[in-house]
Each structure stands twice: as C-alpha cells, then as structure tokens.
Amino acid sequence: MTNRVTVIGSLNVDTILTIPRLPKPGETLSMHDQTFAGGGKGANQGIAAGRAGAETAFIGKVGDDENGRFMINSLTDSNVNVDQISVTKDAKTGQAFILLDDNGQNSILVYGGANQQLTVDDVKAAEDTIANSDFIITQFETPVETAEAAFKLAKKHNVMTILNTAPAPEKISAELLAVSDIISPNETEAQTLTGVEVTDEASMIEAANKLHASGAKCVIITVGAKGAFYHVNDDNYGFVDAFRVKAVDTTAAGDTFIGALSSQLNPDFSNMAAAIRFANRASSITVQRLGAHPSIPTLAEIQTAEAADK
C-alpha cells in the first residue's frame, strides 16, 4: 500500500557557495563555485517522500516572485501535490545561503521570508488534505503555532505525526510534544531537549524515555554518518547502521532520511528497522551529490543501490 504523506514546512531557494574552508573573522576567501538549487527543510522532506514513492502533498507559502514559481515547479516535478501552497505579496520566497567546504561540511544562513507567514488559517484550509494522510511531517522553519495547529488537526483525524526537531530550538512547547507521535532529533538536539548527553545505547534509551514521557510514541535519534537509533518501547528498539560512502555535500541528508522514512513506515511501526535502513540508504545517496533537491534520490535509484549490495 502506498503511504500518503503531507509535509507542512519551508520552501527555500538555496545559493550554494563552494569554498575551501570556513573563513575566519575578518578574512576574505575566494570561492570555487556558486550554484543555485531548490531547498528548505520542508520542501526537501516533501520531495524525498514523493521521489521515494509516497503520495505526497505540501502545505506552505511562497512569495509572488520567480523563486516561488521555481519552488512550486520543483515540487510538482517530484510528484508532490502543491494545491495547498499559497502565494503572498507581503514577503519574498525563503532563501538559504550555504557555505560548503572541501570536506563536504556546510554552514547555512536562512532568510525565512514567506515561510514565516504560514498561518493557522492556511492549515485549517488544508484540513481535508491532512485528514486523508497516513503521516504528516513538520520542522521548525515555519511558525510553531502553525505546526501545533496542523498536528492537532492530524490527531483529530487519527493521522500519525512526525516532528523533525530542526533547526534545533532551545525548547519545544508541551502542546506540540503532546501531539507528536514520532520525534526525530539528532544527538545534539536530543541533548538540548532532554539534558542527556547522547554517547551510547544506554544514554539514547534514557533520552528516548524522557521524550516518551512528553507524549512521543516513538523516538528516532539520528547520529550522522553512524546511523540512527529508534525506540518505540522497551521491547522494540535498536540501532540501524548507516552506509559508508564518500560525502560530497551533507545538505538535505537529514531531510532525505525523514521523507524516505515516511514513504515506507507502517503506521503501527511494525517495520521500523527496515524503514530506517531504507531511509539511511536514501541519505547515503544524497550526500554523494551536490545541492538539496538535485541530490535527493528516486525510488529506482534507492532500489538500484540496495540491489548492488546483495
């Protein structure tokens, strides 16, 4: 059965500045290259879900500009329904400026723009879309109150919710945590949220139990190039190793993981380890290519990579 996934989140056009290393304060560096690509954590996750085979819809906002039209076309080309993306004349489409060094690591500056004008009314207008979903995903590049409204509507219709806790907030409201079925932080975000330093399985379990106490049915802690830890309960948890590859650009790796996961995961979490392995595979392809949207793999590419390992 094909999963139906709705993403509510950000839509950005990325400017990628390829540099040898990050500049020191006051230092001027020459760039190797400058490129442009679609991005935004929300859009990345939506495209990852759509390309991985999910029936995907998007709730978001762009400016009345060329970047906005580019983003809508980018999602449409990746099998994402854009009927719930609205256009505002009051702000420009979101943008991100990515400093990418020779080791494939990045630093990112984000202009929220139209993303910050996504409202509770926009969510209410998309209630039918939310109600007809198996999963709804959000992050923290759009207003928190809008995310809360979306997740509350999702729970009204028995839709599973996935909260990706990035960019890392200092604190998440109890109201949002209470309606988040799956919480997916990285190890740094997990420590910020729980006060537990994530270093091994015991500390991951401790952090997960603290997040369970906040309302999460499942916790997935991503640990960069090592893989991902999941904890549903004391009888259903484990660590799924990442695939070893040469990283060119880590942009959108985490977003690819979330989107690909949602395309495969059963709402009862019965195939959690297999879905995470699939998501790890998708991310391993993403980091070997440059840019956000251009790097996100299709289902056929993921399946081909899987077959090559057998």
For residue 166 the two structure tokens come to 């990035």
Between strands 218-222 and 227-233, the pairing is antiparallel
112 belongs to an annotated ligand binding site: no
254 belongs to an annotated ligand binding site: yes
Q: In what order do the strands lie in the sheet with 182-184?
A: 80-88, 55-63, 4-8, 135-138, 160-164, 182-184, 218-222, 227-233, 236-241
43 belongs to an annotated ligand binding site: yes
251 belongs to an annotated ligand binding site: yes
104 belongs to an annotated ligand binding site: no
Q: Of 50, 84, 92, which Cα lies nearest the Cα of 67?
A: 92
Task: Examine the residue annotation and report whether 255 is marked as an active-site residue of this protein.
Answer: yes
For residue 245 the two structure tokens come to 């590859």
42 belongs to an annotated ligand binding site: yes
For residue 283 the two structure tokens come to 């991310």
Cis preceding linkage at 167, omega within 30? yes
286 belongs to an annotated ligand binding site: yes
Catalytic, out of 122, 255, 268, 309 = 255
255 belongs to an annotated ligand binding site: yes
227 belongs to an annotated ligand binding site: yes
41 belongs to an annotated ligand binding site: yes
Contacts 24+ apart (CB under 8 A), 22-31: 22/99, 22/101, 22/107
The distance from CA 261 to its chain's CA centroid, rounded to whole angstroms, is 10
Residue 84 and residue 131: Cα distance in Å, rounded?
13
Rg (CA), the chain: 18
223 belongs to an annotated ligand binding site: yes
- Give me the phi and psi of 75, to 5 degrees please: -70, -40
SS3 content of the chain, % helix, strand, coil (to 5): 40, 25, 35
- Separation of first and last alpha carbons in the chain: 25
Q: Of 84, 87, 107, 93, which Cα lies nearest the Cα of 7?
A: 84
291 belongs to an annotated ligand binding site: yes
For residue 88 the two structure tokens come to 């505002």
Going by the annotation, the residues of the binding site are: 12-14, 40-44, 141, 186, 222-227, 249, 251, 254-255, 280, 286, 289, 291, 295
Going by the annotation, the residues of the binding site for K(+) are: 249, 251, 286, 289, 291, 295
Going by the annotation, the residues of the binding site for substrate are: 12-14, 40-44, 141, 255
Going by the annotation, the residues of the binding site for ATP are: 186, 222-227, 254-255, 280
Which positions are annotated as active-site residues?
A: 255
